[in-house]
Amino acid sequence: MNILVLNCGSSTVKFQIIQSDPERLENGSERRLASGLLERIGSQALITFKAEGQTPHKSTAPLKDHRDAIDQILRWIVSPEAKIDSIRALSDLDAVGHRVVHGGEKFQKSVLIDKKVVAGIEDCIELAPLHNPANLKGIRACQDLLGEGVPQVAVFDTAFHSTLPETAYLYGLPYHLYLRHRIRRYGFHGTSHRYIAFKYGQVMGLEPKDVNIVSLHLGNGCSACAIKNGRSIDTSMGFTPLEGLIMGTRSGDVDPSIVDFLHSKEGLSIVEIDTMLNKQSGLLGVSGLTSDMRELEQEETHNQDRRARLAIDLFCRRVQKYVGAYLAIMNGADSVVFTGGIGQNSDVIRQRVCAGMDWLGLKLDEHKNRTLPRGEGGEISADDSKLKIMVLPTDEELMIAQDTVRCVAGARCG
């Protein structure tokens, strides 16, 4: 089956076409036929298309909305210059898998999209006002452009965390607020953490129920997840993706009283404070330079920039605190796994996170850590480390494609 995997953000659309054999799911037999990224939708968009085995093709075009963007993708897919193996016409696309950010309490796993599912995703807009509308635009554009005959599947970022126990998902707030407004921890990056649990099990030859790890997704957005017996039992992002670790531009955990204090001291409105916490904080806010970890590492090394160092130190310390907390509630684990742009690529951050955690059972092999090829997976713990330390590149698109195949097959069987 040829699956179009779509990830629609507020002004971006990312896609991959993944060819998957329904009889051999999870065997690593998938092929990436093509991929692409469309940025700055709403104005003169930057477009990158890449077919398997070919060099990326970059261009610009005025794209007014997500429908225009997806139309552009579909035209390219079937164009002679794309030369995508196995795709000659749109009818060669068998299904579409959409990343949907928020499934609320309603969606605990991936589902085939119908009118009821669309209404359910709409109901979750108040929980994810920036993300779910973009995801819905993508779904509607595909229905329009590909027709109702091409099945579409929604894969939710929150779904993997639907196994959180009450003690993990409730806040210490008046209980009626949960009942009235569903204010609780939902958690995000679920598809990535689920992939890490799946991949770890595969690499170590374990049944899913035997996977006990702390998964660290460190990218622009960052989250930690405690995975016990293959299920998410706690995670650092909360009601929104703002909570938890220090991220590129998000503050992560702060004392909520700061909001009121800032309101009176700086005369900022609630909306302005929310923007500050989400867009001007984290690595960017502390360093005053950039939200990009690679650039911060360079500033620290080449220019001895004090605030770049401070931002990195704060970042690593917060990760350490979550690792410690999760090992405590899990009563130990087998491994700590790094993933995401920072986790996969930065030996410096991995080294600083693991430093001084040997009492907890984490002992890095510095040589293995330093020499692990960028973007590749592998074990980086010392032979006498009680816990394994692993690097596994995440692959959310693969999870979305696999779920899409399963949901479509299930619907055909059912």
Give Cα 48 to chain centroid, integer Å. 21
| SS3 at position 216 | strand
Asked if 48 touches ligand ADP (CB under 6 A), the answer is: no
Asked if 393 touches ligand ADP (CB under 6 A), the answer is: no
Asked if 221 touches ligand ADP (CB under 6 A), the answer is: yes
Asked if 241 touches ligand ADP (CB under 6 A), the answer is: no
Asked if 342 touches ligand ADP (CB under 6 A), the answer is: yes
Kindly identify the residues of this chain, within the stretch 246-275, that bind ligand ADP according to CB under 6 A: 248
157 catalytic? Reply is: yes
- Buried b / exposed e across 389-411, counting CB within 10 Å, b at 16+? bbbbbbbbbbbbbbbbbbbbeee
As measured in angstroms, the least distance from the Cβ of 89 to ligand ADP is 32
Helices 115-123, 132-146: crossing angle, 10 deg rounding: 160
Give dist(CA 198, CA 36) in Å, integer: 25
Cβ proximity of 119 and 80 under 8 Å: no
270: how many CB neighbours lie within 10 A of its CB? Answer: 11
Give dist(CA 407, CA 403) in Å, integer: 6
Q: Which stretch binds ligand ADP (CB under 6 A): 43-51, 87-95, 292-300, 352-360?
A: 292-300
359: how many CB neighbours lie within 10 A of its CB? Answer: 9
Kindly identify the residues of this chain, within the stretch 166-185, that bind ligand ADP according to CB under 6 A: none
Cβ proximity of 153 and 110 under 8 Å: yes
Which strands sit side by side in the sheet containing 335-339, from one edge to the other?
231-235, 222-228, 213-218, 335-339, 388-391, 378-379
Using DSSP, how many helices (H) and how many strands (E) does the chain show? 15, 14
Q: Which stretch binds ligand ADP (CB under 6 A): 174-182, 267-275, 286-294, 330-338?
A: 286-294
- Torsion angle (degrees, nearest 10) of CA 391, 186, 101, 179: 170
Candidate residues 9, 341, 377, 393; the one interacting with ligand ADP per rule CB under 6 A: 341
As measured in angstroms, the least distance from the Cβ of 291 to ligand ADP is 7
Asked if 340 touches ligand ADP (CB under 6 A), the answer is: yes
Q: How many chain residues bind ligand ADP (CB under 6 A)?
A: 14
Name the residue whose CB lies closest to ligand ADP. 341
Asked if 219 touches ligand ADP (CB under 6 A), the answer is: yes
As measured in angstroms, the least distance from the Cβ of 293 to ligand ADP is 4
Q: Which stretch binds ligand ADP (CB under 6 A): 160-168, 298-306, 342-350, 362-370?
A: 342-350
Asked if 9 touches ligand ADP (CB under 6 A), the answer is: no
Asked if 316 touches ligand ADP (CB under 6 A), the answer is: no
Asked if 190 touches ligand ADP (CB under 6 A), the answer is: no
Length of the chain: 414
Asked if 346 touches ligand ADP (CB under 6 A), the answer is: yes
Candidate residues 297, 305, 358, 366; the one interacting with ligand ADP per rule CB under 6 A: 297
Q: Which residues bind ligand ADP (CB under 6 A)?
A: 219-221, 248, 292-294, 297, 340-342, 345-346, 374
Tell me the catalytic residues.
157
